[in-house]
Amino acid sequence: MQSLFFKIFLGFCIVVVLVGFSLETSSILANYYEVRWQMVLHSIMPMEAEKSARLYEQSGKQAVEDYLDDLQRQKSVRFYFFDEDGNSLIDRGAPEVILKLAKAKEL
């Protein structure tokens, strides 16, 4: 009886350790990929903003909307386009927090 209890207890401990290890590993990997994705976005954002500004000046609002829609499909990130005063230059409903950041010129 004692050896059966020990085997069950040992099996339970092994399962707990494996589950804990799996959760910790997935958390570390998720954090790594999130940080890496943010670095990629921060490196391309100035280029995309400059390209969008040139496109807006040359081809107008609709061309920028189409370009940002294509970019959104490629990068799975929602893009917005504001002037230096924080006013939206395209017809795209931005969340309230984004509008506040744009008005505060923190973007």
Phi-psi region of 105 (alpha: psi -120 to 50; beta: other; left: phi over 0): left
Query: pLDDT truncated to tens, each residue of the chain (107 aa)?
Result: 578 889 999 999 999 999 999 999 999 999 998 888 888 778 888 888 888 889 888 988 888 888 888 888 887 778 888 888 888 888 877 888 888 888 886 54
- The closest alpha carbon to 69, from 58, 60, 59, 80, belongs to 80
Q: What is residue 1's predicted lDDT score, i.e. its pLDDT?
A: 54
Q: Write down the domain spans for the chain.
A: 2-103
- The closest alpha carbon to 63, from 75, 78, 72, 52, belongs to 52
Q: What is residue 81's predicted lDDT score, i.e. its pLDDT?
A: 84
Cβ–Cβ under 8 Å, residues 107 and 95: no
